[in-house]
Chains A and B, each alone.
Chain A
Amino acid sequence: MKPAARTLPAPIARGSLFSGYQPPPGVYDELKDAAGHVRPHWKIFVETMAPLGFDALRERQEAAQQLLRDHGVTYNVYADGGSDERPWKLDMLPLLIGAEEWRRLEAGLIQRTRLLDRVLADIYGPQQLVRDGLLPPAFLHANVGFIRPCHGVRPPSDQFLNLHAVDLTRAPNGEWWVLGDRTQAPSGLGYAMENRFILSRVMAEEFRASSVRRIASFFLARHGGLRAMAPWTDTPQIVLLTPGPRTETYFEHAYLARYFGHALVEGSDLTVRDRRVFIKTIEGLRPVDVIIRRVDDTYCDPLELRSNSFLGVPGLVEAARARNISISNALGSGAVEAPALLAFLPALARALLGEELHIPNVATWWFGQERERAQALAQLPRMVVKRAFTLGRGDPEFGEMLDEADIDALAARIRAHPHDFVAQERVALSTAPVWTGGKIEPRPLILRCFVGVTQDGYTVFPGGLTRVSATPVSPIVTSTHGGSSKDTWIISDAPVEELMLRDIRGFVAEQQHRTPSLPSRIVDNFFWLGRYAERLEDNTRLIRTVLARMAGEGGTLEVRELTAMVHAMVKMTKLHPSFAGAPRFSDLAAAMRELIFDKGIPDSMRGLLDSMAYLAASLRDRFSGDTWRILHQLQSDFPAPPLHFTPGGIIVSLHRLIFQLAALSGMELENMTRGHAWRFLEIGRRIERATNVMEVIRAMIASEPDGGPALAPLLEYCDSTMTYRRRYLGRPELPAVLDLLVADALNPRAVAFQISALGNYLRELPGADESLPERRAFAEIEATLHAADLSALGAESAAGRTGDLDTLLRGLAEGCRAISDALTSHYFSLVFPTAN
């Protein structure tokens, strides 16, 4: 493990790990007080780490990075029109919070959740707060998070918030302050869990010594809270609704769904019938009781909310109105995560709870109010200006960083649309030690805490997602801005509960009486993954037969074989008809380059890889770690288009791709449970391989009725060269080739093999009987193939009469397509809703 041969800073003497650590002046530092002494709740941690040197820390960092990579922890970042999947960053040093202080925070956080829930119940109900002057009417009128169609919709459990996240920081005087709330579909819990898994492993000794509160109990309590959301059943079907694999935090959606045994669904997996929500499965519709949504509320229902949304479920608002579905958090909950609300919360706490806010807000002025507007405008240079209602749109603007002209321009923008902005006091974030890879330095932090509903109240996640900024001074701390994260350790002053996070998986599964059925979309995606993987392999093999002959010396035989394959590819419309003449070498190389690298070409290798990556991502929670690694490598190992394309240079990459695809199908064969998902994956492969082989043969005899020089590359394409030589001991002849590649049910590359496998899978599908269209189509091709004499047809074709052979192959290919269509309409019926 020890990194060798690298320039490292000189090792530092034992016990001095934190001695060089110097917090900046004027801010609160989590580790050291103003006098430079380590704070009491950090003592054990610091002492346990003391014997370590920077080298040991570096080794642990590498181990943690490896775990993060293995677990596939990523965060999707969108910039400049493209997206990129970035590895999650985790700092080696946790944030520690003392027991007494945490108790105060817990009380304050729960108070805040109760308060926001009361505000939601009011604004979506009687709106007494506006009547009483506690909220100005414009707070609702200008609030884009206030979803009017949701007014009057009461959640079945009468709770709007099931999970609430609060961002905190600590002022220089040591008091915690609330920076903001997340009330729609808070993210971060899955990352916090993963941080704990990893850090408790690589820092096992420090973790044990420090009496860290375990987080497992939170998840058990939360499970109870989710069940309580559906008072009509003891065994609710709970689904996690995700916008899909292109979302920023998709890793977390898949992670949480897999962890708690919830079905991970997209909008198109759900349907509303009779004002109830159902999940479309291959066994039919199954009722859904609770939706944990990670889709923003306005995207949740194209019927009543954003009509152009493809992420939602038409009729969901109506189902909620009928109180037939519980949604976490209730649709419309986003209304109270508006920064503008912070200006009113202290008064609302007094009025609704008769209490002061235990944890104060950052002082906030909403420009929508006349008096506050005048005050805040006068003090813009020391304020931070943010959007009043739309979270995450545009970065905050820091008055102190603007010159006079910028301040005037900002003031003009505010005056034009005052309701859209708030001003907040600039907060000096507290700092904590961060391992930067070379040393330990102070970095500003924000702590995200989570409050969850339980069966009989609220519970706070004992920990949190701590985010630290990338630079010592950056006032913006987000994962998008390149910061890192920390595990958060709550130090217990009582013996810690023994329940470990790993234990609850079994516990939860035991409670889950209803196993979620397989959503149709999942099966559909497996089917297409199988088809694309096979299509990619077949295309790679085909292109390789051409490149291999372009790369060599070019003997007469090779040239004739090359010409025959080029002609076949013209017939398959993979190459332009002009290649049927005498193409120039450079033109042919350019065409091959396009077939490999150009996404714009139908079924190019790059395009197929991208399609596979998309499907694989949407199935992420269903692959083993090893399978996922192969899928990942397929992407990462595929070369970028080379500046100088040479057939010989690229062929090595094609060999490797074929190995990796073989590894993938090996994983399918050896590691996947024989469920319907696997069956559809295999059906996709069989249909694809059968049709592709037949297409190549048909294209070949169309230009050379006896196969001619194309027969050798054809055998190569089907990886059957050696078998042919062994069995027929001679140069390739069409009748024997057809016998081997079409009729031989024992050759895994032959058409007959695919058809026989297809039959086995079709018979095992749910609800299958022989009268179904897919079974009838299958029976037809099975009989046709059985009755055909391939040797005779081959001899006939070699004699120039290609008609019967072509008709047979075309009929079989059409049969395969009919099976594919019938399966689609029977099991997937993945027809997307459209606006009327």
Chain B
Amino acid sequence: MLYSISHRTTYAYDATVSLSMHRLHLRPRELPRQELVEFSLEIDPAPTAEVPEMDYYGNPAGFLAIEGAHRGLTVIARGKIRLKAPAWPDANATPQWETVRECCAVDVLTQDSQAGEFLFDSPHVVRSQAFTEYAAPSFPQGAPILASVLDLTSRIYRNFKFDRRATNIATPIAEVLKNRRGVCQDFAHLAICCLRSLGLPARYVSGYIETIPPPGGVRLVGADASHAWFSFWCPGSGWIDADPTNNVLVADRHITVAWGRDFSDVSPVQGVVVGGGSHSLRVGIDVAPIEETTPLPG
């Protein structure tokens, strides 16, 4: 499936900014199941410095500096991406979750212990007994890990209400757990908190999802939001992506941009400005499937 994406971020500042610096995580990763056909960045005003980099997790990142007076910043990322549906293993054939925990805790470097990178606390993920207790019903003794995670994902989907006004990025996940409301970012963090509290590696994935227009309706431009889900380690199969907001395993409708320990590692546009007073932020995202025309032979 081929998608075209456009991700526009606009800052408007109340007062003149003399210097701004940003870190970008906008260029989608290249993966076996994800091909980046085209990508471009449009930045206004023109940056004084734009340095493409790769972060610690292998995500394409960028450093952006704008010197001289400006009153706003617009960054537009455009790209074309071809997705293949991944082949996830049979849930009942995956290892018992206790085994996963042991494999990942070994003292020597293995694929499994390398996944331990995503086992500890990070700014938005603080392990606690409350998460262990919430997760417990999904993780009976000896259960295969994928079956357990699917159960956890569906419970989050059923127990929690999607509510844009309930939280912001500073809301602790412990509070989300208590109030049972939030957005995709919160649900991804919540699942990660649960898994890490059980001693299972889990990472945060930021990206886009194709939203399906209502039957007969026209796809709304700009209505699609930036999306987030999580990925857990399954020895023998690798990282498996699950989306608690939609209660699905990731197939060919999720476009991965970057992954990290949590949102703070992969925030799409994050920066520091000098001056400016208060600011307003607008984000618009379009993800549209493109009709693939098969070229005629000859």
Instruction: List residues of chain A with CB under 8 Å of any chain B CB.
Output: 130-131, 133, 136-138, 140-142, 148-149, 151-152, 271-275, 302-304, 307, 314-315, 318, 321, 369-370, 416-417, 419, 829, 831-836
A130 partner, pick from B109, B119, B270, B275, beta carbons under 8 A = B109
- Residues from chain A with Cβ under 8 Å of B237 in the complex: none
| Chain A hits for B11, CB < 8 A | 836
Q: Which residues of chain B come closer than 8 Å to A370, judged between CB atoms?
A: 105, 107
Q: Kindly list chain B residues whose C-beta atoms are within 8 Å of the C-beta of A130.
A: 109
Contact residues of B between 131 and 174, Cβ < 8 Å to A: none
B48 touches A314 (CB 8 A): no
Q: Which residues from 82 to 141 on chain B have a C-beta closer than 8 Å to any C-beta of chain A?
A: 105, 107-109, 113-114, 116-117, 119-120, 127, 129
- Residues of chain A with a CB closer than 8 A to B105's CB: 138, 370
Interface residues of B in 11-52 (CB under 8 A from A): 11, 18-23, 48-49, 51
State whether B51 touches A318 (Cβ < 8 A). yes
Question: Which of B22, B55, B274 has the most C-beta atoms of chain A within 10 angstroms of its own C-beta?
Answer: B274
Closest residue of B by beta carbon distance from A306: B123
Q: Are B116 and A274 in contact (CB under 8 A)?
A: no
B271 at the interface (CB under 8 A from A): yes
B116, A137: Cβ atoms closer than 8 Å: yes
Identity of the chain B residue whose Cβ is nearest the Cβ of A371 in the assembled complex: B107
The residue on A at minimum CB distance from B54 is: A152
User: Which residues of A sit under 8 angstroms from B23, Cβ to Cβ?
Assistant: 303-304
| A315 touching B274, Cβ below 8 Å | no
Known: A141-B120, A275-B49, A834-B276. A369 touches B18 (CB 8 A): no
- Selected contact of B279 from candidates A273, A417, A836, CB within 8 Å: A836
Known: A131-B109, A318-B63. A833 touches B274 (CB 8 A): yes
Interface 1/0 per residue, B279-296 and A, CB below 8 Å: 100000000000000000
B116 touches A307 (CB 8 A): no
- A151 partner residues in chain B, CB cutoff 8 A: 56
CA distance A829 to B274 in the complex (A): 10
Find chain B residues with CB under 8 A from A832 CB. 274
Within 8 A of A (CB), among B54-85: 55-56, 63, 65, 67
Inter-chain contact A133/B272, CB cutoff 8 Å: no
- Taking a contact as CB atoms closer than 8 A, the residue among A138, A273, A416 that contacts B19 in the complex is A273
Closest to B264 in A: A307
Cβ of B273 within 8 Å of any chain A Cβ, yes or no, is yes
Interface pairs (26), CB distance under 8 Å? A137-B107, A137-B108, A137-B114, A137-B116, A138-B107, A138-B113, A141-B116, A141-B117, A142-B119, A148-B55, A149-B56, A273-B19, A273-B65, A274-B49, A303-B23, A307-B264, A318-B51, A321-B53, A369-B107, A370-B105, A416-B129, A829-B18, A833-B273, A834-B276, A835-B270, A836-B271
Could you tell me if A302 and B272 are in contact, using CB atoms closer than 8 angstroms?
Answer: yes
Q: In the complex, which residues of chain B have a beta carbon less than 8 angstroms from the beta carbon of A275?
A: 49, 51, 65
Residue from B56, B108, B272 within 8 A of A833 (CB atoms): B272
Which residue among A140, A141, A315, A832 has the maximum number of chain B CB atoms within 10 Å of its CB? A141
CB distance from B244 to the nearest CB of A (A): 24
- Please, how many angstroms separate the alpha-carbon atoms of A274 and B51 in the complex? 11
Tell me, in angstroms, the Cα distance from A829 to B18 when the chains sit together.
10
A835 and B17 alpha carbons, distance in the complex (Å): 12
Q: Across the interface, do B109 and A273 meet the contact criterion of CB distance under 8 Å? A: no
Nearest-neighbor residue (CB-CB) of B67 within chain A:
A273
Are B48 and A138 in contact, CB atoms less than 8 angstroms apart?
no
- Partner of B270 from the list A152, A318, A416, A836 (CB cut-off 8 Å) is A836
* CB <8 Å contact, B56 and A836: no
Beyond A149-B56, A303-B21, A836-B279, whether A274 also contacts B48 by CB under 8 A is: yes
Q: A370-B107, A829-B18, A836-B270 are in contact. List 15 more A-B contacts (CB 8 A).
A: A133-B108, A137-B108, A137-B116, A148-B56, A272-B21, A304-B23, A314-B272, A315-B65, A318-B63, A831-B274, A832-B274, A833-B274, A834-B276, A836-B22, A836-B272
A252 to B65, CA, bound (A): 35
Q: Which residues of A contact B55 (CB under 8 A)?
A: 148-149
In the assembled complex, how far is the CB of residue B199 from the closest CB belonging to chain A, in whole angstroms?
A: 10
Within 8 Å by CB of A836, from B63, B65, B116, B273, lies B273
**Cβ A137 vs Cβ B113 within 8 A:** yes
Bound-state CA distance A315–B273 (Å) is 11
Contact A136 B271 (CB under 8 A): no
How many Å from the CB of A824 to the closest CB on chain B?
13
- On chain A, the residues within 8 Å of B65 by CB distance are 272-275, 315
Minimum distance in angstroms from A27 CB to a CB of chain B? 36
Q: Output the residue of A136, A274, A321, A829 with the most chain B CB within 10 A.
A: A136
The answer on a CB contact under 8 Å between B19 and A136 is: no
Q: Which residue of B lies closest to A417 (CB)?
A: B127
Cβ contacts under 8 Å, B109 to chain A: 130-131, 133, 137
Write the nearest CB–CB distance from B108 to chain A, whole angstroms.
Answer: 5
The CB with the most chain B CB atoms within 10 A, among A130, A315, A832, A834, is that of A834
Shortest CB-to-CB span from A770 to chain B, Å, is: 24
Residue among B116, B129, B269, B272 having the largest count of chain A Cβ atoms under 10 Å: B272
With most chain A CB atoms within 10 A of its CB, the pick from B105, B113, B270 is B105
B272 contacts A834, C-beta separation under 8 Å: yes
Enumerate chain B residues within 8 angstroms of A272, measured Cβ to Cβ.
21, 65
A401 to B129, CA, bound (A): 28
A271 touches B19 (CB 8 A): yes
CB proximity of A759 to chain B, nearest CB, Å: 30
In the complex, which residue of chain A has the Cβ closest to the Cβ of B102?
A370
Residue of B nearest to A271 (CB): B19
Question: Does the CB pair A142–B107 fall under 8 Å?
Answer: no
Q: How many Å lie between the Cα of A419 and that of B109 in the bound state?
A: 17
A136 and B107 in contact, given A318-B63, A834-B273, A834-B276 (Cβ under 8 angstroms) = yes
- Nearest CB of B to A213, in Å: 44
**Closest 8 interchain pairs by CB?**
A836-B271, A314-B272, A136-B107, A148-B56, A833-B272, A137-B113, A831-B275, A141-B116
C-alpha spacing A836/B19, complex, angstroms = 12
Q: How far, in Å, is B67 (CB) from chain A's closest CB?
A: 6
A304 contacts which chain B residues (CB < 8 A)? 23
Q: Would B116 and A138 count as touching, CB distance under 8 A? A: yes
Shortest Cβ gap from A270 to chain B (Å):
12
Interface string of B179-216 (1 = CB under 8 A from A): 00000000000000000000000000000000000000
Closest CB of chain A to B292's CB: distance in Å? 38
Q: Could you tell me the distance between the alpha carbons of A274 and B66 in the complex, rounded to whole angstroms? A: 9
List of A residues within 8 angstroms of B120 by Cβ: 141-142, 419
Bound: A302/B51 CA distance, A: 18
B212 CB, nearest partner CB in chain A, Å: 33
Name the one of B51, B116, B129, B272 contacting A835, with C-beta atoms under 8 angstroms: B272
In the assembled complex, the CB of A44 is this many whole angstroms from the nearest CB of chain B, namely: 52
Complex Cα distance, B284 from A66, in Å, reads 67
Residues of A within 8 A of B51 (CB): 275, 318
A141 vs B106: C-alpha distance in the bound complex, in angstroms?
13
Residues 235 to 272 of chain B near chain A (Cβ within 8 Å): 264-265, 269-272
- When distances are taken between beta carbons in the complex, the residues of chain B under 8 Å from A152 are 56
B297 → chain A closest CB, angstroms: 48
- The CA of A318 and the CA of B271, in the complex, are separated in Å by 13
